[in-house]
Amino acid sequence: MYFKDLNNSKTIGANSLFISIGSFNIVVDAGMDPKLAGLKALPNFDQLEKFSLDLVLITHCHLDHIGSLPILLRDQPQARILLSPPSRLILPIMLDNAITVMKHQRDERGIKEYPLYGKTEISSLEEFFLEMPNGRTKVFKKLNDEIRITFVHDGHICGASGVLIEHRHRKIFFSGDVLFRDQITLPGALWPKEKLDVLVMETTRGNTKRRENHSIQQEINGLISRINATIEKGGSVLIPSFALGRMQEVLSILNDARKKKQLIKNVRIVCSGLGLTLVDVFDKISKKYGLINFKKSILKDLNVKPLLKIEYLHPGKKPAESTIFVVSSGMMTENTPSYNIAACLLNDSNNSICFVGYCDKDTPGGKLLASTKGHSFLFDTLNRSIEINAHVEHFDLSGHAERDELLQHAIDFNPRAIVLTHGENVSREWFFDELLDRSPNTKIVDPEIGIEYNI
Ligand SMILES: [Zn+2]
Ligand SMILES: [Zn+2]
């Protein structure tokens, strides 16, 4: 099998991997780098020029995995897009929203090439889709060759799948973004237990040590106590959350705490637009496929209100009423609701900012977590520097597997080769060193940009 990582940076970046196996040319994911703007945010699709793709496999619908899909299909209109049934419903909404965000960025930051695609292109993707329900193997034939593909439940978010490819007795497994523990909204990953030839795995949390005596319940209790203490003081809480997955999980955590009478009463809860749109889709998926534990009645139970622009127009200005803001983005990316709300809350010691997911160190969220109270924090795109007086804390409710757990799975597969993807350099290095030590017969590949490998 030949493969090439099309991601232009050795970070989480724009996920996209090309593999050529037998007669088949396949791309796994077609993402967009959330930390870059314009054409730089795309994978290096130029490297596919001489190939005709047969299949594009989509592991899940976060933009770092699907943001460049319409561009890939522009040059490869013969390729079929394989995705889980929930992803088929979620994907057009995520890409539609990406267009809106790109248009804002064009107007506000002068990125002329934005948007990189239009709504018609998104709706025309529908004709290329082929649904892959979890656990159901499909066989694809080409010339005298055939390949078997199976999607498996991956935890992480609704619709997320790992992908197993079988070709002439060889088994290659793509981890996608994976979470093994159960969430309230979704059971943990159900990975195959078999010997693999090649494992292509994410490494997101390679640089995050397991906390001693830590349990998810303790993290949840800590978050609820922090919310209650903040609201009692008359302050507000910001929970930056990815609109897809984390936001619905946070709402479920709040609703659980409300039912157990652990959450302070009558508190105002506000969510941002895309997260609310996805609540409807999750409700539909739950009714149609029963894959997730989520009902849209949660919005009524918690009396959730949509975020209004007026709430974040004036950085430094206190909200009119104590509020829990569950708004995107999870890493407090510039110009998103969480970035703007943080600018309103950060200078008041009565407020709290509670991160609940993975935060890249180079994003505003990662920078804020690394900052010290009393120092000032620059909101670059708002042109404002604000003193950090609010309580800032990270609660470990990440949608990615803990590194030790993922490492153990990798070792158990006992593959001939492991390819590291989807992680900062330092995270890849941790996995590289541990695997070298504990799986000495396995070839470990941390792919260099633009290099083709034969494994
Ligand atoms: Zn993801
Ligand atoms: Zn990802």
How remote is the CA of residue 305 from the centroid of ligand 2, in Å?
28
> For tokens 């590949």, what's the residue?
445
Under 8 Å between Cβ of 35 and 70: no
Q: Report yes or no: 235 and 348 within 8 Å, Cβ to Cβ.
A: yes
Overall average pLDDT of the 106-132 stretch = 95
Q: For the chain, what's the residue count?
A: 455
Query: Distance from the CA of 62 to the center of ligand 1, in angstroms?
Result: 5
What is the rounded CA–CA span in Å between residue 38 and residue 222? 39
Residue 390 pLDDT exceeds 80: yes
Q: Check whether 84 has a pLDDT greater than 90.
A: yes
Q: Is the pLDDT of residue 212 over 80?
A: no
Distance 379 CA to ligand 2 centre (A): 25
Spatial distance between the Cα atoms of 285 and 373, rounded to a whole number of angstroms = 43
Distances in whole angstroms, Cα of residue 166 to Cα of each of 59, 138, 142, 147, 197? 17, 10, 14, 6, 10
Q: Do 161 and 176 form a contact (C-beta atoms < 8 A)? A: yes
Q: 157 falls in which pLDDT band (50, 70, 90)?
A: very high
> If you measure from the C-alpha of residue 87 to the centroid of ligand 2, how many angstroms do you get, rounded to a whole number?
14
Give Cβ neighbours of residue 112 (< 8 Å, ≥ 6 apart): 106
How far apart are the C-alpha atoms of 51 and 76, rounded to whole Å?
9
pLDDT at 109: 87
**Cα(73) to centroid of ligand 1, in Å?**
21
Q: How much distance in Å is there from the Cα of 116 to the middle of ligand 1?
A: 21
Percent of the chain exceeding pLDDT 90 equals: 89
Out of 3.50.50.60, 3.60.15.10, 1.10.8.60, 3.40.50.170, the CATH code matching 2-208+399-454 is: 3.60.15.10
pTM: 0.95
Tell how far the Cα of 140 is from the centroid of ligand 2, in angstroms.
27
pLDDT for res 310:
82
CA angle centred on 369, ends 367 and 373, rounded to 5°: 105
Alpha carbon distance 244, 67 (integer Å): 14
* Domain positions in the chain: 2-208+399-454, 216-394
For residues 74-78, give the mean pLDDT.
Answer: 96
Beta strands in 289-339 (DSSP E): 304-306, 323-327
Q: What is the mean pLDDT of residues 244-267?
A: 96
- How far does the centroid of ligand 2 lie from the alpha carbon of residue 106, in Å? 24
Task: Provide the β-strand partners of residue 25.
Answer: 20
Same fold, 2-208+399-454 and 216-394: no
Architecture of domain 216-394: 3-Layer(aba) Sandwich (3.40)
Report percent pLDDT > 70 for the chain. Answer: 100
For the CA of 422, the nearest ligand:
2
| pLDDT on residue 35 | 86
Least distant ligand from the CA of 161: 1
> For residue range 173-191, what is the model confidence (pLDDT) as tens digits?
999 999 999 999 999 999 9
Distance between Cα 340 and ligand 1 center (Å): 23
> 20 pLDDT exceeds 80?
yes
Distance 92 CA to ligand 2 centre (A): 17
Dist. CA 315 → ligand 2 center (Å):
30
Nearest ligand, CA 34 = 2
Per-residue pLDDT reduced to its tens digit, 371-387: 999 999 999 989 999 99
- Ligand 2 centroid vs 400 CA: distance in angstroms? 9
Compute the distance from residue 220 Cα to the ligand 1 centre, in Å: 21
Q: How far apart are CA 132 and CA 87, in angstroms?
A: 10
User: What contacts 24+ positions apart, CB below 8 Å, involve 265-268?
Assistant: 267/227, 267/231, 267/322, 267/323, 267/324, 268/303, 268/305, 268/321, 268/322, 268/323, 268/324
Residue 112 confidence (pLDDT) above 80? yes
- pLDDT per position as a tens digit, 226-254: 999 999 999 999 999 999 999 999 999 99
Helix 85-109 and helix 273-289: axis angle, to 10°? 170
Confidence category of residue 312, pLDDT binned at 50, 70, 90 = confident
- Confidence check: pLDDT of 342 > 80: yes
Å from CA of 225 to ligand 2 middle: 30
Q: What is the dihedral of CA 108, 111, 112, 113, to 10 degrees?
A: -130
Q: DSSP class of residue 28?
A: E
Query: Strand 417-421 to strand 443-445: parallel, antiparallel, or no bridges (unpaired)?
Result: parallel
Is 161's pLDDT higher than 90? yes
Dist. CA 69 → ligand 2 center (Å): 15
Output the CA 409–ligand 1 centroid distance in Å: 19
Tell me the three state secondary structure of residue 182. Answer: coil
**Arithmetic mean of pLDDT over the chain:** 95
Tens-digit pLDDT profile for residues 397-448: 999 999 999 999 999 999 999 999 999 999 999 999 999 999 999 999 999 9
Report the amino acid identity of residue 56.
V
